[in-house]
Chain A
Amino acid sequence: MTYTMPRPSITRSSASPWRQTKSAVMTASLVLALVVAVVPLVLIILYVISKGWASVNAPGWFTADIPIFSRAVGPGMGPAITGTLMITGAATAMAVPLGVLGGIYLNEYSAASRYGNVIRFFADVMTGVPSIVMGLFVYVIWVLSFGLSAFAGALALGCLMLPIVIRTSEEMLKLVPRELRESAYALGGRKAGTIVRVVLPAAAPGIISGALLAVARAAGETAPLLFTIGFVNQANSDLLHDPNTALSTQIFKNAISVFPGQVSRAWGAALTLIGIVFVFTILSRIASSFLSRKHQS
């Protein structure tokens, strides 16, 4: 006995309108969810621009000293901008090379070893440590002995960045096909040379964008800096000694002030910080797309 499949017509059945409605409702709710997610972001940016634009637009905002007389109205934010760049730069200089080396170690030298797993576990735990706790840690191990300084802030931010850089580097290295390494080995290549000359270049776009996102995140941190760089208004170009200032701490101190001059400087600093983070983000995109395009066009 043979069974023939019923062959339904390809015209829409009566169930179709319901299916279409369902589809329309689902699509609409997805769009709605997107709007709900994006609207606050856009509002934040627009609000900060509307509040901060006048400050940022005043001549000398980016270069002039912060008024020592804090009630004064007007620019600038120069010391905080250089402070933020200096602290974030020092943190990057410490965390990125170390983090990439850590990622290389985890992925290339200890993939399945117990030691590697322990490191990976702690890196994951470190990623979840609240930034204020990191600040407290640096306060105890560094500030209590050596005093407040930009370097102490950089240590705290570096500790925050390190696990992110380690884990993104590891993930990016993991994405490099095994065959690529094996091809290099098949040419008589040795492990270290292969990692440096083949694996890292192949993973570079991802590692760079991961590192720059970590930088962007660190640049906006406030809590760990309060413990570590202190709070001053004057510029301090000495990385290792004396309290310093940063955009985020300026926002923190000025935004709660009762004086309008300070509040508008806080908005200006907020806009500047968003701008800096934005530039970092764009740079990371450009860098990684440039690197990956270099070999794929």
Chain B
Amino acid sequence: MTATSLNESQMTPTNVAAVNESNADLADAPSEIVFEVRDAAVDYGSQRAVDGVTLDIASREITAIIGPSGCGKSTFLRCLNRMNDFIPGAKVSGGLTYHGEDLYGSKVDAAEVRRRIGMVFQRPNPFPKSIFDNVAYGPRINRHKGDLSAVVESALTRAALWDEVKDKLKKSAFALSGGQQQRLCIARALAVSPDVILMDEPCSALDPIATSRIEDLMVGLKRDYTIVIVTHNMQQAARVSDRTAFFTTDVDDRGARTGRLVEFDHTNTIFTSPSDSRTEGYITGRFG
């Protein structure tokens, strides 16, 4: 089962239109759960970085993770595609399933997990290659058979970059502006037909105009992809996401900081009537 076929079979055009109309309306509509997280924790060596996270991430929604600096939002995000595997000493525990399969099961191919669950990083980081080769990188390493340029064109089109770069595909990716580079990185992630796209503060290095283009793009991509975004920008979370998870930091008596999930709900609810006073404090700017 490929991610693409999954996407196509799951959602009707009507649903897509509804998603775009209003975040809140669709929040209660039945939706497949992509990630089921049950009391997950991340340790770096003897230090617990994130603890007690329990939430469900629904298909074809944008889930935002917000919270003050150092609350473990990025660390948690990186659990979802096993990116923490590369950090020496990092250990993930608790229940984490992806479409019902244990993400950390002993027989799971982590590379395949990461192909299905793409990631876009804080700073635009194209490979030192041409624009074309950047997008084609993923299909190539996954031994894509068929018309590579069609895949590249389709990915760039979905990332709303095609018109800007179609005449300079052979040029270095570094020739693009920061915002274009970030969209190139999104196109690069799309080219391997992922199911989920994780975005780790994708707009923090961009100016407001570029940010708004990326946000528009995310809303458009929601039709076909499940998106999880970490952001420190509350307005951004409010603008684009369907559900929001609020993380905060506990400091123990030795000064060690551990991130915790405080509240997870529809974005509307979080921003209008949060049930936890810490959420409210953060939303209204009293701390964080």
Contact = CB atoms under 8 A, between A and B. Distances in A.
Interface of A: 111-112, 177, 179-190, 193, 197-198, 201-202, 294-297
A11 to B, nearest CB: 39
B103 to A, nearest CB: 15
Contacts of B115: 187-188
A157 B21 CA distance: 71
A187 B122 contact: no
Interface string B129-169: 10000000110011000000000000000000000000000
A295 B119 contact: no
A188 to B, nearest CB: 3
30 contacts: A177-B125, A179-B123, A180-B127, A182-B86, A183-B125, A184-B127, A185-B111, A186-B198, A187-B118, A187-B137, A187-B138, A187-B141, A187-B189, A188-B115, A188-B116, A188-B141, A189-B111, A189-B141, A193-B141, A197-B137, A197-B141, A198-B128, A201-B129, A294-B128, A294-B172, A295-B174, A296-B172, A296-B174, A297-B172, A297-B174
A185 B114 contact: yes
A183 B175 CA distance: 19
A190 B111 contact: yes
B58 interface: no
A275 B122 CA distance: 47
B: interface residue count bin: 20 to 34
B253 interface: no
B128 A181 contact: no
Contacts of A186: 81, 83, 114, 117-119, 189, 198
Contacts of B114: 185-189
Nearest to B89: A112
A294 B191 CA distance: 24
A190 B138 CA distance: 11
A202 B175 contact: no
Contacts of A111: 88
Contacts of B125: 177, 179-180, 183
B49 interface: no
B66 interface: no
A197 B185 CA distance: 17
Contact of A183 (B88, B112, B121, B172): B121
B65 interface: no
Given A183-B125, A184-B141, A189-B114, 4 more contacts: A179-B121, A182-B119, A186-B83, A295-B129
A22 to B, nearest CB: 40
Contacts of B86: 181-182, 185
B31 to A, nearest CB: 24
A184 B189 CA distance: 9
Closest 4 CB pairs of A and B: A188-B115, A187-B138, A186-B119, A295-B128
Contact of B128 (A182, A189, A193, A202): A202
Contacts of B142: 187-188
Nearest to B121: A179
A184 to B, nearest CB: 7
B260 interface: no
Nearest to A177: B125
B192 interface: yes
Given A111-B88, A179-B122, A181-B86, A188 B128 contact: no
A197 B141 CA distance: 9
A185 B109 CA distance: 12
Given A180-B127, A185-B111, A197-B141, A112 B88 contact: yes
A189 to B, nearest CB: 5
Contacts of A295: 128-129, 172-174
Given A201-B128, A201-B129, A296-B174, A188 B138 contact: yes
